[in-house]
Amino acid sequence: MTTTPAAAPNTEPRPTYHADGTPLSVQLFTVEGSGYGPYVGLPLRDLWTPYTAHLFTRATAELIVRDMHGDDCGVTAEFAEDGTLTFTWTAAHDGDGGTIAARPDADGRYLIGGLWSWDEWGDHVPHTAGQAAFAQGAAEYQADGSGALPEPLDTLYRQGRREAQTLAGERRTNRTP
């Protein structure tokens, strides 16, 4: 089993802009072939593959871990007291087995990927009305469409907006009700 030891929190800054100066944009992900998520992620490059790692907040990382543990996928994960998220997988998962540690960056975001195939979350993914409302809020994080949906969907919409705003680094309190 390959082991990557946990280390001090990752203070290496992650980019928030593309090389041409445009800000990175949030996207919605799921594990390929599943109805998990939507996971609000921040790709670090314009073109990504299903195994590319993306940035996620602690709240989304916890959701990913919960979904993994509910599925017998051969991968487990655990948060350490220092915030490090350690993924462990069996040889049945990839032929080798191993561990890898994801440490939060200076903004508390985790770089996660490479252990399963990501897919864009969308209409082709089986989902509930609640997942759709959350996804809509995340997709509209720079505009406010709240109040247009009945409760409890409006609450999920606002949660999606807040998650995307947090991930993107938008800290203006007047942006989210």
- What is the reported pLDDT for 92? 80
Helices (H), 22-173: 58-69, 91-94, 129-139, 153-168
Please measure the distance between the N-terminal and C-terminal CA atoms of the chain and give it in whole angstroms: 47
Q: Which residues of the chain have pLDDT under 70?
A: 1-19, 21-23, 145-147, 171-177
Cβ neighbours of residue 172 under 8 Å, at least 6 residues apart? Answer: none
State residue 143's pLDDT score. 81
Q: What is the pTM of this model?
A: 0.83
Ranges of beta strands (E only) in 24-109 are: 27-31, 39-43, 54-56, 75-79, 85-89, 98-102
The per-residue pLDDT for 37 is: 95
